[in-house]
């Protein structure tokens, strides 16, 4: 009874901790998205400079990551040569900067709810780019599911009350760049045994993003900021916004480290529904029945995709256990045979 109770208490504690990590991640992700929308929207804070905002985030995150790694030594930096950094990290940093720039720009033109619906295309983009780069194998069942997700998003887009073509182009571009980045992380880093957690990722990638973003910033936003005399730093707004952005990266580290990446994907679906509800009830964005119907179809497709990934992970773990068991059985058999051979030699002597 005592062991069973201790086991159940341990399981309950683990479940509660998992839900706590999920709740923290959802809250911070929710906060960053709504906060960015508030800053960039012309009807709210009215500061429509997405490149500048992204550079503030990257500068702040770079500084904190350097302090955490170099001063407080919370995590160890990854040993990486200059050649590896230039060939692997720099392309990922370029894609990340483009993804952040375009996704933040979309908040100027689109509602929070519609952006979340468009983000449902992420599995489609990741799988398609993975197949093109030969990281994923083509499966007709998976591609059919990807088409069903796309069809659902298309219905949601058709039902959007405040459809803006340029905003959709920006968000789809952000999805494409982010999907390419995720696939290249597997090809350029994971396949080489380089694993970066969110803190070391910021340590290596954020400075790179800052440099890449400074190029379009000089030509696109800096002249406008200089002419309108709007280039003033609101420490309260941009400071708290940057803290939230950095805290979100730490929450990702906790969530993926203590649970799994799949848990974060499932939690992301919950977060998207919460954001749609918030956008409709608080921000007063228009959400039509056709929006919800289309996103509902996409949601079912994403749910099925996550279910298939979970089953594949379980099958892979089971295969590893079988292989480990076979290896252990082989070692025991070898030891037994050597013992028998030793006893025979002793009897012959």
Q: What is the mean pLDDT of residues 27-47?
A: 91
Let me know if residue 331 belongs to a domain.
Answer: yes
Asked if the model's pLDDT at residue 334 lies above 90, the reply is no
Q: 24 lies in a domain? A: no
First-last CA distance in the chain: 55
What is the pTM for the complete model shown? 0.82
Among left, alpha and beta (phi > 0; psi -120 to 50; other), residue 146 is: alpha
Is position 128 within any domain? yes
Residue 295: inside a domain, yes or no? yes
Residue 57: pLDDT over 50:
yes
The domain of 142 spans 49-230+262-338
In a domain, 297, yes or no: yes
pLDDT of residue 9: 67
The answer as to whether 114 is a domain residue is: yes
Could you tell me if residue 28 is inside a domain?
no
Distances (CA, A) of 78 to 2, 63, 86, 167: 44, 17, 15, 38
Domain tally, the chain: 1
Per-residue pLDDT tens over the stretch 61-105: 999 999 999 999 888 888 888 898 999 899 999 999 999 999 999
Distance CA 28, CA 2 (A): 39
pLDDT in tens, 222-249: 998 888 765 577 889 999 999 999 998 8
Asked whether residue 34 is assigned to any structural domain, the reply reads no
Kindly tell me if the per-residue pLDDT of 293 is higher than 80.
yes
């Amino acid at each position: 009874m005592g062991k069973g109770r201790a086991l159940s208490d341990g399981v309950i504690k683990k479940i509660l901790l998992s839900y706590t990590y999920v709740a923290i991640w959802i809250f911070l992700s929710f906060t960053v998205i709504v906060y960015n929308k508030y800053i960039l929207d012309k009807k709210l804070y009215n500061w429509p400079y997405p490149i500048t905002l992204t550079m503030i985030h990257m500068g702040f995150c770079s500084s904190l990551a350097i302090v955490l790694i170099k001063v407080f030594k919370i995590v160890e930096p990854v040993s990486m040569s200059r050649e590896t950094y230039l060939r692997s990290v720099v392309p990922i940093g370029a894609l990340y900067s483009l993804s952040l720039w375009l996704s933040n720009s979309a908040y100027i033109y689109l509602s929070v709810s519609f952006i979340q619906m468009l983000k449902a295309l992420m599995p489609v983009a990741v799988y398609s780019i993975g197949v093109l780069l030969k990281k994923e194998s083509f499966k007709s069942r998976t591609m059919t599911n990807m088409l069903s997700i796309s069809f659902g998003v298309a219905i949601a887009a058709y039902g959007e009350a405040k459809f803006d073509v340029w905003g959709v182009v920006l968000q789809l571009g952000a999805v494409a760049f982010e999907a390419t980045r995720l696939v290249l992380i597997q090809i350029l880093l994971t396949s080489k045994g380089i694993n970066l957690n969110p803190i070391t990722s910021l340590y290596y990638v954020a400075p790179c993003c800052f440099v890449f973003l400074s190029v379009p910033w000089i030509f696109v936003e800096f002249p406008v900021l200089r002419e309108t005399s709007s280039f003033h730093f609101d420490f309260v707004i941009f400071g708290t916004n940057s803290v939230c952005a950095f805290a979100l990266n730490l929450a990702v580290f906790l969530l993926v480290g203590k649970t799994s990446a799949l848990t974060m994907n499932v939690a992301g679906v919950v977060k998207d529904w919460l954001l749609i509800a918030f956008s409709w009830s608080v921000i007063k964005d228009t959400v039509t029945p056709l929006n919800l119907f289309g996103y509902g179809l996409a949601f079912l497709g994403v749910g099925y995709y996550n279910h298939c990934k979970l089953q594949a992970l379980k099958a892979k773990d089971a295969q590893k256990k079988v292989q480990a068991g076979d290896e252990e059985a082989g070692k025991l058999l070898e030891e037994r045979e050597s013992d028998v051979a030793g006893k025979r030699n002793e009897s012959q002597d």
